Amino acid sequence: MLILLISPIKTTYGQSSTPDLPVYIVQPGDTINLIALKFNTNSADLIAVNNISDPNFLQVNTQLLIPGISGISGILSYTPVNLGETPESIAKRNNIELSSLYKLNKITSPSEFFLGANIILAKDDDQTNLNSEMIMPSKITLQELAISSGVNTWQITQSNQKMYPWQILPKEILTGGNNSPSNSIAEFQFNGLPLTQGETASIIIDSANGTAKLIFIDKEIDFVENEGRLVAIFGVHALQEPGLYPFHLEYSDANHESKIIDQMVLVQSGFYPQDPVLYVDPTTLDESITLPEDELIFKVTSNITPDKYWDGKFIKPVDEPSCIKSWFGNRRSYNDQPYNKYHTGVDFGICANLNDYAPADGTIVYAGPLTIRGNATIIDHGLGVYSGFWHQENILVEVGQKIKAGDLIGEIGSTGRSTGPHLHWELIVNGIQVNPLSWLENDYP
C-alpha cells in the first residue's frame, strides 16, 4: 500500500485527462497511417490519444487529437503551397504568427515553402480569418486605403504582421480589407499540385482582359481566353526526373498591373513499374521511321484551339466490360534494349467488342494509316487537348468531322507496331502525353 501511495502516477493518452493538443478533422480517403505521415507523428500514439478501438475504420469528419505538436492548438489543416505564396503571405492570410507557422511545420528556411509542398496550418475556433486580399496602391496613402476598405489603419497593419504603418510598401499584397475592383488582386487557381510525372495540371486566372505567360522547365506554355478566364492546361512528362524545378509566371490584368511570380515547384514520382520486355519488328524501332512519325503527330497536336469542346469528365473509349492490358507510364524495353521508353497511353483489350468511341466532344484532325501507330485517329478537344487512337482495324470518321462523346469512331485492331489486337488510347496536353485515366476521374481544367 505504501508503495502505491508514493509512486508517481503516469498519465497515458488513453485516460480521460487528455493533453491540450491540436485537432484534425478526418477527410475522405484518410487512414491512420496517412494522417500520422501528414503530421510527422506516430501511428501508435495517434491511436492511443484518441482511444481508437479499430484503426481500420475512420469516420469522415471525426475530430482526432494530434500528438507530437507542442505549443499549438486549434484545428489543423493540410494543404499544398499555392501559386505566388510565401511564408509571410501564408501567415498573413491565415492570421497566424510567422514563427508559429515555422514551428508547426518544423522547418528553418523559406526555401522549404516551394510550390506544391504540403504545409500544416492551425486555426482557433474563434480566430478570424482575414483572407481578403488587395494590392497596396502606389498613389494613395494607407489611411485612404483603410477608409475605402471599411477598416482602420492599425487593423491592416496588425493583420499584415507589421509593427508600424510605414512598413507597408506600395504594390505589397495585403490581407484584412474588403476587396474593390480598383485594388483587388487576380484570383489564381492552380489545379494538380503537387505536380506528378505523367499527370495533368492547369492554371486559371479569373480575368479575360489581361495577358499571361508561363514558363515551366524551359518550356513556354500558352494561356488562352475561355469563358471570361485565362486558362493554361499542361502535362508533366512521364520521364521528367522528380525534384524541384523553376516555375515562372508573368501576369498583367485589365488595369495593366503587372505581377511576376518565380517559385520552385516540386515534381514527384508517378511510381511507374516496368513492363515485360516487348519483342517487335526491328525496323519499327528505326529512328528514320519513328522520328518523322513523331514529328507528324506533334505538328497535328500543336495547335491550341481556344474553345473548350468537352463538358465534364471524359468517358471510356470502349464498351463494358472493359479490360486494360497495359497502363500509362509503364517503363518499356523493346527487343532487350534498355528501359528508356515508357507507355504513352492506355491499352484496352477486346473484352466486349471491337468498337471504340470518342471519349469527349471534339473535331477529327487526323484519320489515316501510320507505320508505327497503325490506323490512327486524332480528336481535337480544344484548349490544347487531343485524343489519339492507334492500331485500329478500321477508321469510321474523317478529318473535319464534328463528333460527340460516345460517337463510334473506329474498330479495335492490331495494325502498326503491335503485338496483338488492342486499342491504344493516348491523351496529349500541350504537346505532352498524360495519363488518360485521370481524365475519367477529374473535370479539367
Can you read off the three cell numbers belonging to residue 401?
468531322
CATH assignment at residue 160: 3.10.350
Residue 277 inside a domain? The answer is no
Rg (C-alpha) for the chain, rounded Å, is 27
The DSSP 8-state label assigned to residue 110 in this structure reads: G
- Whether residues 291 and 427 fall in one domain: yes
Separation between Cα atoms, residue 276 and residue 278, nearest integer Å: 6
Smallest Cα–Cα separation from 196: which of 434, 443, 431?
Answer: 434
- Whether residues 302 and 436 fall in one domain: yes
- Whether residues 155 and 257 fall in one domain: no
The DSSP 8-state label assigned to residue 200 in this structure reads: E
Q: What is the pLDDT of residue 268?
A: 92
What is the enclosing helix (H) or strand (E) of 44?
Answer: helix 43-49
Residue 369 inside a domain? The answer is yes
What count of other Cβ atoms lies within 10 Å of the Cβ of residue 143? 12
* Contact of 392 with 410, CB cutoff 8 Å: yes
Separation between Cα atoms, residue 247 and residue 117, nearest integer Å: 14
Domain count, the chain: 4
- Whether residues 199 and 161 fall in one domain: no
Separation between Cα atoms, residue 80 and residue 102, nearest integer Å: 15
- Whether residues 305 and 327 fall in one domain: yes
Separation between Cα atoms, residue 203 and residue 209, nearest integer Å: 16
Separation between Cα atoms, residue 134 and residue 184, nearest integer Å: 5
pLDDT tens for each residue of the chain, 445 residues long: 333 333 333 333 444 445 578 899 998 888 999 898 888 888 999 999 999 999 888 888 899 999 988 777 788 888 888 887 888 888 877 777 888 888 888 888 877 888 888 888 887 654 444 445 555 566 666 666 666 666 666 666 666 666 666 556 665 666 654 443 333 344 678 899 889 999 999 999 887 667 888 999 889 998 998 888 889 999 999 999 999 999 999 887 666 777 888 889 999 999 999 999 999 999 989 999 999 999 999 999 999 999 999 999 999 999 999 999 999 999 999 999 999 999 999 999 999 999 999 999 999 999 999 999 999 999 999 999 999 999 999 999 999 999 999 999 999 999 999 989 999 999 999 999 999 999 999 999 8
Can you read off the three cell numbers belonging to residue 407?
460517337
Q: Which of 216, 238, 268 finishes a domain?
A: 268
How many angstroms separate the most distant Cα atoms in the chain? 94
Smallest Cα–Cα separation from 55: which of 72, 68, 42?
Answer: 42
Q: What is the pLDDT of residue 227?
A: 82
* Contact of 377 with 388, CB cutoff 8 Å: yes
DSSP for 271-334 reads ---BPPPB---GGGG-HHHHHHHHHHHHHHH----SSB---SS---SSPSSP-EEE-TT-EE-B
- Whether residues 118 and 138 fall in one domain: no
- Whether residues 425 and 302 fall in one domain: yes
Residue 83 inside a domain? The answer is yes
Residue 11 inside a domain? The answer is no
Whole domain around residue 99: which residue ranges?
23-123
Q: Which of 268, 290, 322 finishes a domain?
A: 268
- Whether residues 333 and 401 fall in one domain: yes
Smallest Cα–Cα separation from 305: which of 366, 382, 229, 208?
Answer: 382
Q: What is the pLDDT of residue 292?
A: 96
Three-class secondary structure assignment of 182-214: CCCCCCEEEECCCEECCCEEEEEECCCCCEEEE
Q: What is the pLDDT of residue 95?
A: 76
Can you read off the three cell numbers belonging to residue 282?
526491328
Separation between Cα atoms, residue 137 and residue 163, nearest integer Å: 20
- Whether residues 318 and 256 fall in one domain: no
Q: How far is CA 208 from CA 37, 72, 128, 228, 381, in A?
A: 41, 42, 32, 5, 21
Can you read off the three cell numbers belonging to residue 259?
505581377
Q: What is the pLDDT of residue 94?
A: 77
